[in-house]
Structure 1
């Protein structure tokens, strides 16, 4: 039986700082705005192509009408009827084409307006993102300054406490030495009173 494979440890944490929720939300909004702009541009391109085809169709119809007029000159017996019919068709077509062109121009203007609004929103979003990043950097800088100030304050407090403790120890040491000298002197006198010679240390 082959040896069991050791289970590998989980993947290490990815290097780098994680973006905060506000930055991620701004990036998502930015991506959606870019997608909307691209969609508006595609829509505008389609409308332009449709307008071009409409104008070409209008020119084609005009050429057909001119051909019909030449044919009407060859067939003068039907000239008035055909001429009136073609005139009516031409006016109807012209009216319809004018209406259609007007609709397309209106849609084009609306699309351009939407594009301008989207660009303004994108600019505003970028400014908000830059402002958030700037505020975050200022906050980090302020925190670093406060931490440095606190470290210095704590260091000063510790040094003061240590100096005070050393001073108290020195005072206690001096008092103890004085007290010890007094006790030794009393003991020496008591021994002398009993006729004993104190030991020399």
Structure 2
């Protein structure tokens, strides 16, 4: 019987080895399946990340495009605002010019009026001066005539007195 035991042992050993090999194979297959599952999960994760990256890049491109559009719109708005400000400034400038021209016309009218008054006053003063000088000349002429009369009468008196004394007035 001992030989039977050995056979059994061999069988047991073979079966243990088989079990170990099957177990190792099962474990290896399990690890392989787990690795395949991990690879699949990682591929899915990578694909999801790729999709997210593409989506993010697309959003980034869209945002950049929107930023460019908004910057262009802002430039247009600034130009429009500048144009509107220019129009307002031109209107104000035009109003200021009209006001200035009106003030200048009023000043010119006032100056012309004052110049006219000055000319009239000059004419009046000249007339008064001429009248005064004419009156003075007339008074002087009257006074001269009166002095001449008085002087003639005085001369005549002195001539008569000299004649009374027997003197000739021509000799003296």
| Shift in alpha-carbon separation, 1:186–1:86, aligned structure 2, 3 A | closer
| Shift in alpha-carbon separation, 1:91–1:149, aligned structure 2, 3 A | same
Larger Rg: 2
- Structure 2 partner of 1:114: 38
In the TM superposition, 1:32-111 aligns within 5 A as 83-111=7-35
Relative CO higher for 1 or 2, CA cutoff 8 Å, sep ≥ 6? 1
- Structure 1 partner of 2:118: 194
1:163 aligns with 2:87: yes
SS of alignment partner, residue 195 of structure 1: helix
Gaps of 5+ in 1: 1-77, 197-201
1:139 aligns with 2:63: yes
Deviation of 1:84 after TM superposition, in Å, equals 4.2
SS of alignment partner, residue 194 of structure 1: helix
Structure 2 distance, partners of 1:191, 1:91, is 143
1:154 aligns with 2:78: yes
Flag the structure with higher helix content.
Answer: 2
Count of paired positions: 120
| Shift in alpha-carbon separation, 1:98–1:193, aligned structure 2, 3 A | closer
TM-score normalised to structure 1 length: 0.52
TM-score normalised to structure 2 length: 0.60
| Shift in alpha-carbon separation, 1:155–1:79, aligned structure 2, 3 A | same
Structure 1 distance, partners of 2:101, 2:81, is 30
Structure 1 distance, partners of 2:19, 2:114, is 140
Gaps of 5+ in 2: 121-172
Deviation of 1:119 after TM superposition, in Å, equals 1.0
